[in-house]
Structure 1
Amino acid sequence: MPAKQCWLDSTVVDETSQFELYEAFDLSFDAIVLSADTVDTYELPASISRVVPYDSDRPDCLDAADIAIVSDEGQIGTALSHGCSIAYRLDQDAVSSASPEMFVEQIPDQARYLVVPDASQVERFESLLETVGETELSVISGVRSPSEAESVVNTMNGSSGGVMISSPETAAFSEYVNITKEPSDTAIPLKAFEIETIEQLGTGIRCCIDTTTLMGKAEGMIVGSTNAGGLFVNAEARAPPEASPRPFRVNAGAIHSYVWTDEASWNYLADLGMGDTVACLNVDGSIREVTVGRILLEKRPLTQLIATCETRTVAAIVQDHSHVRLLRQSGESVSVPHLEEGDQVLGYATDEPQPVLDRPTAGVERRDIDDPNSHAENTI
């Protein structure tokens, strides 16, 4: 299934914060719907289109827009004169009173997009998609939750278009992007491993991987003490009450550990540097490639976890802190301090050891390694 577009409608949210919009920028949404008052307020990356609903009282706002949402054919000429592409807003009543074929025939030829405010309120939505599929239109459907987005994307299947988030929650942004992106052709077969041994090892150097993207609550990385496999360490998209989430980060483990870079390769945490790539996994094992922006090395208390699945045994040494979480098959997370022997967590065991890598280190930031009493802000 091809990737779908992901738009964010900021006009339906009261006082959409600049932070929320910057979250969308970091996730590379395809378009942001802005009001006439805010269309030229934000500096958007060139990859993100500015979308503005047509306002007859403010036609000048179209100068800063890439796409204009119109609901009447008479508005198209003005929008085109300002250099905008046309997104035609669907009239729910009109499409309900006519067959999809008749409705699509009435859409102006200049329209590039068909905006459906709420697909769940459109009868015969699938028939509408089939009819639109015979044209060059792309359907953009409004959604209010990740589950709605997933339903729409599955219904669209091979059709072009995507979703428009009309009730954004910052924590869910990465979920929408993951739903609309092209599925990975590769995956790591995750299995349930039973925690056999939990042993506190004292202080050691642990490594945080700060990426250049945001990860969801069901995402993380495979980290292990040997190249025979490891455990699924959750991204810091969840956080304990005393801290804020850091969804760009995985508190990966002790500096000697391996982290998987794809389904068949790994790298040492000690060798990772700025610009390297690692495998970000979803709970279903699907992979997307993420880029390392920074490595944080700090002295912290460590715990060794040894886990088994059938005849395979894997081990990981991680920081003993509530920030560090593993995942169960259900997607539920469990923090390291709350782990108990006998718990089931996700992990991965290779069929055979991988070859040793020898790569230079770059872009490593070492913080307070020589001072165990020093704590850098937000790097617990």
Structure 2
Amino acid sequence: QSSQGIVLTEFGSDSWQIIPAENLVAAFQSSQAEVLATCRGASDARLMLGALELGTSGIVLETEDPSEVRALSSFLRERSFEGSKIELEAATVTTVKPVGMGDRVCVDTCSLLVPGEGLLVGNFARALFLVHSECAESSYISSRPFRVNAGPVHAYTQSVEGKTAYLSELSSGSQVMVVDALGRARSAIVGRLKVEVRPLVLVEAATKDGKTHSILLQNA
């Protein structure tokens, strides 16, 4: 139905939803109408709000299940991080010291990271370092712009909603925060982890307030 520039659409619970939703978003992309999709759960709402990377203008959630409302609320908070700005601070590296072998985690995301982007990782949650992705190609290794060689299993990384997680806690489907050198943030889905025994180095850096912070990274 269409009324005062609003299009309300509903798909059956057992119908093919993704292609019709994308067709609908494409059809009204250049119009002034607002397209609202009726959904019966948070998973359907995710599909509607992500159709053709644009999504419908909004959704109408029809449910009596409080857990679906909470799940949708969590998803909307995650979306609010897209394009947000993280304040980064420059630090001076004071120490780079080999420390031995450890279980190193490569985080393979479902997104292609561009130069300047990486994950925030550190030994302590109070100070995280921007660890760059493997998007740069060298004579020794091909470019893998979806991957961040993040550090050992104990390290913290920034996830969405302002929370941190141990690298060892991540798994396929987890959400992590990708940040670039200007502090612009977006979320990415973890595709897989590669945990392997590798030589590690301790990197220490001092900030303007005189405090020293640290991170362990693969010695490569």
Partner Cα separation in structure 2 for residue 223 and residue 260 of structure 1: 7
- Structure 1 residue 183, shift from structure 2 partner: 8.5
Q: Structure 2: which amino acid aligns with 1:224? A: G
- Structure 1 residue 262, shift from structure 2 partner: 3.7
2:152 matches 1:259? no
Q: 2:212 aligns with which of 313, 336, 339?
A: 313
Gaps of 5+ in 2: 1-17, 33-79
Partner Cα separation in structure 2 for residue 245 and residue 305 of structure 1: 24
Partner Cα separation in structure 2 for residue 195 and residue 217 of structure 1: 21
Gaps of 5+ in 1: 1-44, 50-65, 67-83, 86-111, 114-134, 137-181, 322-380
Q: Structure 2: which amino acid aligns with 1:319? A: Q
Identity across the alignment (%): 30
TM norm structure 2: 0.63
Partner Cα separation in structure 2 for residue 248 and residue 294 of structure 1: 11
Partner of 2:72: none
Q: Report if aligned partners of 2:127, 2:213 keep a CA contact under 8 Å in 1.
A: yes
The structure having more radius of gyration, on CA atoms, is 1
Instruction: Flag the 1:297–1:247 CA change in 2: closer, same or farther, 3 A.
Output: same
2:146 matches 1:248? yes
Q: Structure 2: which amino acid aligns with 1:291? A: I
Partner of 1:215: 113
Q: Report if aligned partners of 1:187, 1:263 keep a CA contact under 8 Å in 2.
A: no
- Structure 1 residue 188, shift from structure 2 partner: 1.9
SS at match of 1:214: coil
Q: Report if aligned partners of 1:205, 1:300 keep a CA contact under 8 Å in 2.
A: yes
Partner of 2:84: 186
Aligned length: 156
SS at match of 1:191: coil
Instruction: Flag the 1:263–1:190 CA change in 2: closer, same or farther, 3 A.
Output: farther
Spell out the pairing of 1:29-178 with structure 2 (5 A cutoff): 46=19
- Structure 1 residue 46, shift from structure 2 partner: 4.5
Q: Report if aligned partners of 1:187, 1:285 keep a CA contact under 8 Å in 2.
A: yes
Deviations 1:311-342 (A, max 9, x none): 23221100011xxxxxxxxxxxxxxxxxxxxx
Q: Report if aligned partners of 1:188, 1:263 keep a CA contact under 8 Å in 2.
A: no
Partner Cα separation in structure 2 for residue 219 and residue 185 of structure 1: 13
Partner Cα separation in structure 2 for residue 290 and residue 209 of structure 1: 11
The runs of at least 4 consecutive aligned structure 1 residues that moved more than 4 Å come to none
Q: Structure 2: which amino acid aligns with 1:209? A: V
- Structure 1 residue 264, shift from structure 2 partner: 3.1
Q: Report if aligned partners of 2:133, 2:148 keep a CA contact under 8 Å in 1.
A: yes
SS at match of 1:305: strand
Per mean C-alpha deviation after superposition, the further-off stretch among 182-191 and 209-218 is 182-191
